[in-house]
Structure 1
Amino acid sequence: MPFDVVSAGILVADHLTTPIARLPRAGELVLCDAMPFSIGGCAANVSVDLTRLGKRVGVFGAVGGDPLGGFVVESLAKAGVDVAGIVTRDDCGTSCSLIINVAGEDRRFITTLGANAAFVPEQIPLDAVRQAKVLYLGGYLFAPALENERMVALFHAARAAGVKTVLDVVVAGEGIGRGTPWERLAPLLAETDVFLPNEDEARLITGKPDPVAQAEQFRAAGARTVVVTCGGAGSILVNDRVRLLSGVYPIDYVGGTGSGDAFDAGFIMGLLAGGDERECLRWGSAIGASCVRSVSATDGVFTAKEAQAFMAAHPLDVREL
């Protein structure tokens, strides 16, 4: 049976802290209530979120032949995601992130690339892509072996088959890839229907502080629709038809890990439902909001029924820029 979404990209095992009051000083010990393990990485998170929303998803990525890799694959399968496209490599470990949550602050990440560094476009089957409705690639710029003309060709083939291409990125501070983030990203934007960076990532890529200016630069490179998420300030959407500013839904915040991926999943849900730009923003904002109810990347995410009830009870301000 064809997938609704082919979800490809980075797979990670997350080791998280529950919120602490402050970071420890050198040599100091600080207690937290718990340090759970959870799946993470854009492709894993979006796959779980969309499966919970009732969509058929096949995930494609790489893990190591180690206990963390087994944990990632088992967790995805238990969530209902098709995991036949995950490659297990014995020559490298599974990517792992230590995620430190400090009360009132954004998360801090310490991460290994692991098997993500060895994942290549040839491991995303064209037949599966052509039969899907959406091809999602998450964590681009954090999986260097994907950054080549074969990935661009796969996006081109997907679009030629009528498949929507959706792209998100992870921008590391240093040490990954050759060339600037912009030089590495621009070729793929020309084959991208929807690009979904957050404001910080977009600033690192473009050097511009204004989200609208960021979006326009991405569109000038060929991205058809650009959505820049801005945390508590909402999100902006720019394409040939509209320029929109979306607010945020009220929610009790516990942790932000996975919230951007949840927004992506919600936006894709809107696309699959045939929604317009406003409807896609509502779906993205609702699923993103549900994610922050938990410290993990996926545990708090709504089902479709829960999301519909939430959106019906909470209007979202979406206005023209």
Structure 2
Amino acid sequence: MSGAGGGHSGGGLLVVGDVVTDVVARHRGPLAPATDTTADIRTVPGGAGANAACWAAHSGCPDVRLLARVGLDSAGWHDLRLRRSGVRPLLIPDADAPTATVIALVDTATAERTFLTDSGAVHRMNPADWSPDLLDGIAHLHLSGYLLFADQSRQLALAARESARRAGVSVSLDPASTGFIGDLGVERFLATTEGVDVLLPNADEAAFLTGLPEPADAAAKLSRQFPLVAVTLGAAGALVATGGEVVARVAAPEVAALDSTGAGDAFTGAFLAARLSGASPAEAAAAGCRAGALAVGVVGGRPEAGAG
């Protein structure tokens, strides 16, 4: 990975983040209050960090590892599915908390989704789960923003970031959730993420973090703190900013959206895989947009098994 947010080209990608059991309920039109709404419901593996890792592997990154904490009851199920996606799982089984669970309500008319989140074992990650040795052979560290929203997991994320800084390994972060950022506070979020090389927000997160509704303005402002910023714009593609200005705008392929769950994670994984292979930020953003277009065509947040 070269340029802004650069690390050691050719090395592996370590994602530290969340593994989630996603219950995806696809319904058409508004939910009917106090009665039944017909839906197609599936249980699939998910989590922003895990999804991004799977998309990075799918996008050609040969060495992708994932450090996460999961409930003891479903650790084997998640481990197997990560391995099938080409990810090396470094899962910590937790006997006292379940795997995080998200109920995703997806309106099939618009492909938009609403999340109900039980963070479970995710926020029980703590500095004892971290070792600098986890960076052996790693060129880039990616942190899921969900780690920042509880004291223990935030301390883990900070420890990982500091280890990466000492090792000369570049660091990226997905801000994760405007709702959780609001709970933490924007100023505290920005202070906590000091030293991150690459920020990968969506348009809503970029606007929330800056108070600027126009994505280009928000991206430019964020790139004064973070060396490289890539803001995803959904069907409108993405834009890249460095040094206080937008340097690239990338269009997204036109696709029929089935489920937008995980599209941002797909962008993140493909973007990081491309950067690790030597792509420019604009080329990486284009790769991310292509992956995002694939992601909205499948139910859940991961590549389809065997999809090329």
Bucket of the pairwise TM-score, normalised by the shorter protein: 0.7 to 0.9
User: How far apart are the structure 2 equivalents of 1:145 and 1:93?
Assistant: 17
Q: Deviations over 1:212-271 (max 9, x none)?
A: 332233233x31101111112221110138622211112221111110000001111211
1:7·1:135 contact (CA, 8 Å) conserved in 2? yes
How many residues of Structure 1 are paired with residues of Structure 2 in the alignment? Answer: 295
Aligned alpha-carbon RMSD (Å): 2.5
In the alignment, is residue 77 of structure 1 matched against residue 83 of structure 2?
Answer: yes
Question: What residue in structure 1 maps to residue 121 of structure 2?
Answer: 115
2:111·2:260 contact (CA, 8 Å) conserved in 1? no
Aligned partner letter, 1:5? L
The structure-2 alpha-carbon separation of the partners of 1:132 and 1:81, relative to structure 1 and needing over 3 Å to count, comes to same
Q: Which of 124, 140, 143 is equivalent to 1:137?
A: 143
Question: What residue in structure 2 maps to residue 127 of structure 1?
Answer: 133
User: How far apart are the structure 2 equivalents of 1:23 and 1:38?
Assistant: 23
In the alignment, is residue 274 of structure 1 matched against residue 281 of structure 2?
Answer: no
SS in 1 for 2:41: coil
Q: Which of 10, 24, 27 is equivalent to 1:16?
A: 24
CA shift, 1:177, in A, is 8.9
User: How far apart are the structure 2 equivalents of 1:302 and 1:272?
Assistant: 23
In the alignment, is residue 31 of structure 1 matched against residue 19 of structure 2?
Answer: no
Aligned partner letter, 2:205? E
SS in 2 for 1:104: coil
Question: What residue in structure 2 maps to residue 316 of structure 1?
Answer: none
Aligned partner letter, 2:24? L
In the alignment, is residue 238 of structure 1 matched against residue 241 of structure 2?
Answer: yes
Aligned partner letter, 1:96? T
Larger relative strand fraction: 2
CA shift, 1:169, in A, is 2.0
The structure-2 alpha-carbon separation of the partners of 1:143 and 1:258, relative to structure 1 and needing over 3 Å to count, comes to farther
Q: How does 1:215-234 map to 2 (within 5 A)?
A: 215-220=219-224, 222-234=225-237
Aligned partner letter, 1:286? R
SS in 1 for 2:179: coil
Question: What residue in structure 2 maps to residue 310 of structure 1?
Answer: none
Per the normalisation by structure 1, the TM-score is 0.83
SS in 2 for 1:275: coil
1:62·1:118 contact (CA, 8 Å) conserved in 2? yes
Percent identity of equivalent pairs: 27
1:291·1:299 contact (CA, 8 Å) conserved in 2? yes
SS in 2 for 1:15: strand
Question: What residue in structure 1 maps to residue 103 of structure 2?
Answer: 98
User: How far apart are the structure 2 equivalents of 1:302 and 1:73?
Assistant: 17
CA shift, 1:39, in A, is 1.1
The structure-2 alpha-carbon separation of the partners of 1:139 and 1:302, relative to structure 1 and needing over 3 Å to count, comes to farther
In the alignment, is residue 4 of structure 1 matched against residue 24 of structure 2?
Answer: no
Segments of structure 1 that go 5 or more residues without pairing to the other structure are 307-321
1:268·1:280 contact (CA, 8 Å) conserved in 2? yes
2:186·2:209 contact (CA, 8 Å) conserved in 1? yes
Q: Which of 258, 262, 268 is equivalent to 1:258?
A: 262
1:6·1:136 contact (CA, 8 Å) conserved in 2? yes
In the alignment, is residue 86 of structure 1 matched against residue 65 of structure 2?
Answer: no
The structure-2 alpha-carbon separation of the partners of 1:217 and 1:152, relative to structure 1 and needing over 3 Å to count, comes to farther
Q: How does 1:196-211 map to 2 (within 5 A)?
A: 196-211=200-215
CA shift, 1:301, in A, is 8.4
